[in-house]
Structure 1
Amino acid sequence: MKRFSFFYFCSSNIVSFLFIFSTALDTISNDSPIKDGHTIVSAGGNFELGFFSPGNSKNRYIGIWYNNLPKGREVVWVANRVNPLNETSGILTVSSKGIVLLNGNQDVIWSSNSSKSLIKPVAQLLDAGNLVLKDDSLVNQKDYAWQSFDYPDSTLLPGMKLGLNLVTGKYWTMSSWKSSDDPSPGEYLDRLDTSGYPQFFVWEGPAIKFSSGIWNGHLFVGGPNLKPNPYYTFEFVNNDKEIYYKYELINTSIPTRLVLNPAGLLQRLLWIERNQNWFLYSTGQMDNCDRYALCGQFAQCNINDSPPCDCLRGFQPKNQQGWDAADWSSGCVRRTPLTCGTSDRFLKYSSVKLPDTRHSWFDKSIGLEECQRLCLKNCSCTAYSNLDVKNGGSGCLLWFNELVDIREYAELDQDLYVRMAASELGSGYMGNTRTSVIAIILTVSAIILVGFLFWFAMQRKKGERGVGEGEGKEDMESPLFDVMTVSAATNNFSSANIIGEGGFGSVYRGKLSTGPEIAVKKLSKHSGQGFEELKNEVVLISKLQHRNLVRLLGCCLEGEERMLIYEYMPNNSLDFFIFDECRKKQLPWENRFRIAMGISRGILYLHQDSRLRIIHRDLKTSNILLDSELNPKISDFGLARIIGGDQNEARTKRVIGTYGYMSPEYAVDGKFSVKSDVFSLGVLLLEIVSGRKNRTFHHPDHHHSLIGHAWLLWNEGKALELIDDCLKESFVESQVLRCVHVALLCVQRLTDERPTMSSVVFMLSHEEVALPQPKEPGFFIERSIAETDHSNEKRCISDNVLTLTILQPR
């Protein structure tokens, strides 16, 4: 019996030891780092991680490769792409801040830089090829502090995402190796572009090499070879939180990977067991017509034609001599100008890759007929199409200005409607001329008659009510609320329901009988913001749709009452948090950076991506509202102005806005442009980082504003001293420095030196991009002590005290 007990004891301990040893094979911890020459293998044996030297290089890298494929190391991810080791004494270990690669002198060569501080950090290689960092002391072991899948290099594995996290602003991109011997980022980058309707571009430095086209519900229109198959499934997700493409294996015994090779080609590779080799299954760029914009503007490419480029119907080569010499880059121009009216017609092109959508507008809720009507109403609109081709088609996509990168695909179910002068389509398209003329005369007569009757009715109604009542209602494309409904929702405009006040009047919190909470902006009779500002806000915001713009539910115009009804923002405004010593702690750096990105995207939409080109003119912290998840929403469009698509600036004799956020050219000369908003954003970024107001900032060593103080610190190499004290435990150094850098570029004195909003969004979200050095900011002058407002002295307001939005002079 004793012999049996001893045998059982030994056996159980051996089994336990083997179990512990086997579970440790795929992990790295403080106690079990890996040295050069050692590796870890995922639990199922699919992937291996360790040190390697690519090709003929002698440099050492940390990489992940297929473990069970016999033909060499197919490396799918590299950690220290930019900083190789030139020795074989490297160590990969973990710390409370992340995964760390050390050289023989214990210098940090590479680090994962986790924003979380971990109690018991462990790095694990998963069977999907994902290296994850987690806290082994936590119950939820899938709460990763960092993962390699968030940082693809030249290979996209099953389960990896390629796209954008709209919450964090993180882009998932692919970048080619420089060569088979050098895994550092090469010339080519595959990245999602969201400046219009989302599409993927392969960039060669600053130039676009290839466009995927949009996702039309089935596939990307630039890749019709992406079809259902027995090897993998794929999906494209586009919602309020994420926009991405990914794929998953159907048969895990047939590995597949998507690679951006050093030549800039997107290649789908399958492992063929019989041949023991990788098989090229498909290529993103199939032929010469896949070269981006090969044929220039208003032209299409057909690889079966010779030459492949041809102008669209009604267009002719812009440079005939170059066109004849096979240089099609200048594209085509219209033979007959558009009339900019409803007499224009549309020519349908079938089976085509849709044009570049960077200068487009879309609405998922309307159909093709309404889409055509909207295009006809806008003189800059040149084409339209369905967004989704499933179930007969849905959604609307409008193009403005030039149409670029169109090609024909015989197998693609996609139509494009290009705007044409009616004369270019001939009488056959218009139908019987006499019938058309009669129809036009009858239609015009009916419109005139209806217009007269409507005018007469409005004049009569206006005479029956008080002067000013309902003035301009007919111009407002927004639901109308009656006073009784709004009064009931706000408890008869009770003072207890006031959530903000300003020069315009008060803002009340309310709840409609139908359920949703609302915010009611009620203009005071003595408000400096008159009916024109209110009308301007209704007309503008009712035409705008973006996740970072506040949603207008309607308005109320009865008697002398003038009210706007918005969606209710439960977390008040940005200034409510960052300028209060207690509440600012509720916005750690992760939230602030997400807010900064959201504001930037909202302004980009106003400047470039909306149907109208809009300058806000009053961007400030109190006009940035926060929803229940602390997502920013830009509000208050009373001072906003529409400018033409080709207009750079405008001038006003009435300079209104908020001092501290105004650009120099606007405050002094009344000139405003999209660069005025860029200046205001720069101020906002500095305030978000520092938790201090620009105009009321004071410092014992000088009398500069916050802008001036930031400029002084930047020149001294002390930009991190600008950061709010409450962020010291949560900030990410690289993001803070980039925010300050971009902010100083935005507040430069001259408008031409400030970046555009598309550049701002790109710079904030793309850490590897080098930024230019900022020049001296506007208003870099010291103020006298009397000019400095000390009203921002530190104070802490308890939560049970009613707090109103602090007023700013207009």
Structure 2
Amino acid sequence: MASKALFSIIPRVKRKEEKEERKRSFLKNGSMLLEDLIASCDGKSHPIRCYSAAEIIRAANNYPCCIIDRSPFADLYRGILDDRTVIIKKYRDWVDTDRAIRDIIISMQMSTHKNSLKLLGCCLEFEMPALVFENAGKGGLNFDGSLVADNELLPWKTRLRIAKQLASALTYLHTAFPRPIIHRRITSHCILLDDDCVPKLFDFSLSLTIPPDQLYVQEDFATGRMGYLDPTYVKSRQISEKTDVYCFGVILLIFLMRRQAAYWNDAGNAWEYLTRDPKLNVSDGQIQIETIADPKILEEVGGDEQAQQQLQDFLALALLCIQEKTEARPDMIDVAKELVRIDKSILP
């Protein structure tokens, strides 16, 4: 029954008026989508299906306990369409329609990458478009990097592989298109895992494209999730590829330390940030990995010197990504290459 409430936007009026409302929404959203498609990729993109409102509602009603995640901007839940389990993203009515359209377009462009959540289609008949994605059986991650479904702690090798594959997806986002696309809001909630724990990056609603012959976009104000915000971006309001690199560095720290990016202090009266943990700010010598790593990882690694060095290299990369000066941070492609090297540093 909960799924029906998700679509309370459908007015309880006569069938004819309902059809007219859906038609108006379809024409409005469809024209916006077409206009942005032409501007973004010359009208060429990965083909997707256009679902009706009735199909989306039936999909939700056919799946019990369907809610995966709720955010201030959208609900994410499972449904059944064409005899397959899918993930449906339904934006809230007050959200700017441009965000949903942008999410559709960039999701279409990214669907060819194996570590991006594949967009199957969308529905334009609601006031706000709904997106239909492939299923990701394991679901999402908690703020500390554990699995939402059962708080399962992922093994170190799995965390490292997930980081490596996410870096590949972000590198693709930055380099595979005529102009770099910045994700802009990389957090643990933008990552879903399939049944084999293969990561799927999604939520491109705040993404933007760097204009030709420019290295950044100047914004009026900074936006992002607490704990992930690039301090240089906050000060300058200039967003670039290095903004994503900073956020990804925070993700690496979460995977290594199993800590939240932002949390209340012991007194419960102020926020503290993982990137400012005193244990990470050691000026005289190397950080002792046993003082900051997740105990589960340390238990797995034991006294293996090669594995200890692997953790140390992973930490060094994370700290490089969160350097305050943007020019000191690596490009995403170099982050991806280093993660491949770290992964191969211990032979199976």
Same fold at TM > 0.5:
yes
Q: Is the 8 A contact 2:143 2:259 kept in 1?
A: no
The DSSP-based 3-state class of the residue aligned with 2:142 is: helix
Residues 1:541 and 2:70 aligned together: no
Counterpart residue identity of residue 569, structure 1: A
Contact 2:144 2:259 in 1 (8 A): no
Structure 1 or 2: more helix by fraction? 2
- Cα distance between partner residues in 1 of 2:161 and 2:264: 24
What is the aligned counterpart of 1:480 among 47, 50, 63? Answer: 50
Q: Any conservation in 1 of the 2:79–2:87 contact (CA below 8 Å)? A: yes
Displacement of 1:559 after TM fit? 4.4
**1:470-504 Cα deviation digits (max 9, x unpaired):** 45243456421111111111117x78311111111
Change (3 A) 1:670 1:714: same
Unaligned runs of 5+ in 1: 1-460, 770-810
Instruction: Please name the residue that 1:721 is paired with.
Output: 291
Determine the C-alpha separation between the residues in 2 that align with 1:561 and 1:486: 13
Where does the alignment leave 5 or more consecutive residues of structure 2 unmatched?
1-19, 38-44, 302-306
Please state if 1:517 is matched with 2:85: yes
Q: Name the aligned partner's letter for residue 496 of structure 1.
A: C
Supply the distance in 2 between the matched residues of 1:479 and 1:588 (Cα, whole angstroms).
37
Alpha carbons of structure 1 residues 473 and 751: separation in structure 2 relative to 1, 3 Å: closer
Q: Tell whether the 8 Å contact from 1:579 to 1:693 is kept in structure 2 after alignment.
A: no
Please give the alpha-carbon distance, in whole angstroms, between the structure 1 residues aligned to 2:166 and 2:326.
20
Match of 1:706 in 2: 274
Shift in CA distance, 581/561, structure 1 to aligned 2, threshold 3 Å: closer
1:562 equivalent among 129, 136, 140: 129
- 2:216 is equivalent to residue 649 of structure 1: yes
Work out whether 1:766 is the aligned partner of 2:341: yes
C-alpha distance in 2 between matches for 1:624 and 1:582: 14
Query: Structure 1 residues 515-524 or 615-624, which shifts more?
Result: 515-524
Match in the other structure for 1:572: 139
Which deviations, in whole Å up to 9, do the C-alpha atoms of 1:210-253 show, x marking residues without a partner? xxxxxxxxxxxxxxxxxxxxxxxxxxxxxxxxxxxxxxxxxxxx
Query: Could you tell me which residue of structure 2 aligns to residue 613 of structure 1?
Result: 180
Bigger Rg over Cα? 1
Please give the secondary structure, in 1, of the residue aligned with 2:90.
Answer: strand
- Do the aligned partners of residues 499 and 576 (structure 1) sit closer, same or farther apart at CA in structure 2, a change above 3 Å counting? farther
Task: Name the structure 2 match of 1:368.
Answer: none
**2-structure distance, mates of 1:562, 1:581:** 26
Deviation string 1:83-108 (CA, Å, 9 cap, x unpaired) is xxxxxxxxxxxxxxxxxxxxxxxxxx
CA distance in 2, matches of 1:536, 1:569: 22
- Residues 277-676 of structure 1 mapped to structure 2, 5 A cutoff: 465=24, 468=28, 470-475=30-35, 476=37, 478-491=48-61, 496-512=65-81, 514-526=82-94, 529-544=95-110, 545-575=112-142, 578-579=145-146, 583=150, 585-644=152-211, 646-676=213-243
Q: Distance in 1 between matches of 2:145 and 2:58?
A: 33
Alpha-carbon distance between aligned partners in 1 of 2:197 and 2:147, rounded to the nearest angstrom: 16
The structure that is strand-richer by fraction is 1
Amino acid at match of 1:751: T
Superposed counterparts of 1:751-762, under 5 Å: 751-762=326-337
Q: Distance in 2 between matches of 1:692 and 1:759?
A: 25
Deviation at 1:561, TM superposition (A): 4.4
Distance 1:581 1:568 in 2: 15
Deviations 1:151-179 (A, max 9, x none): xxxxxxxxxxxxxxxxxxxxxxxxxxxxx
CA separation in 1, counterparts of 2:147 and 2:118? Answer: 27
Q: Distance in 1 between matches of 2:343 and 2:89?
A: 43
Cα offsets for 1:225-284 (capped at 9, x unmatched): xxxxxxxxxxxxxxxxxxxxxxxxxxxxxxxxxxxxxxxxxxxxxxxxxxxxxxxxxxxx
Displacement of 1:580 in angstroms is 6.9
Q: Residues 19-74 of structure 1, C-alpha deviation per residue, up to 9 Å, x if partnerless?
A: xxxxxxxxxxxxxxxxxxxxxxxxxxxxxxxxxxxxxxxxxxxxxxxxxxxxxxxx
Kept in 2: contact 1:665–1:672 (CA 8 A)? no
In structure 2, C-alpha distance between the alignment counterparts of 1:583 and 1:679, rounded to whole Å = 29
Q: Distance in 1 between matches of 2:29 and 2:245?
A: 38
**Once the 2 structures are TM-superposed, how far is the Cα of residue 699 of structure 1 from its aligned partner?**
7.1
Deviation at 1:468, TM superposition (A): 4.3
Q: What is the SS of the residue equivalent to 1:592?
A: helix
Rounded to whole Å, the distance in 2 between the matches of 1:611 and 1:761 is: 20
Question: For residues 589 and 647 of structure 1, do their structure 2 counterparts lie closer, same or farther at Cα, with a shift above 3 Å needed?
Answer: same
- Aligned-partner Cα distance in 2 for 1:593–1:720: 17
Q: Distance in 1 between matches of 2:148 and 2:70?
A: 21
CA-based RMSD: 3.0
Normalising by the residue count of structure 2, what TM-score does the alignment of the two structures yield? 0.78
Equivalent-residue separation in structure 2 for 1:661 and 1:532 (angstroms): 23
CA deviation map 1:374-394 (0-9, x unaligned): xxxxxxxxxxxxxxxxxxxxx
> 1:798 is matched with which residue?
none
Paired residues in the alignment total: 303
Q: Which amino acid in the other structure matches residue 224 of structure 2?
A: G
Contact kept, 8 Å, 1:617 with 1:657, in 2: the verdict is yes
Question: Is the 1:470–1:559 contact (alpha carbons within 8 Å) kept by the matching residues of 2?
Answer: no
| Partner in structure 2 of residue 742 of structure 1 | 317
Higher relative contact order (CA 8 A, sep 6+): 2
**Counterparts of 1:666 and 1:654 in 2: how far apart (Å)?**
9
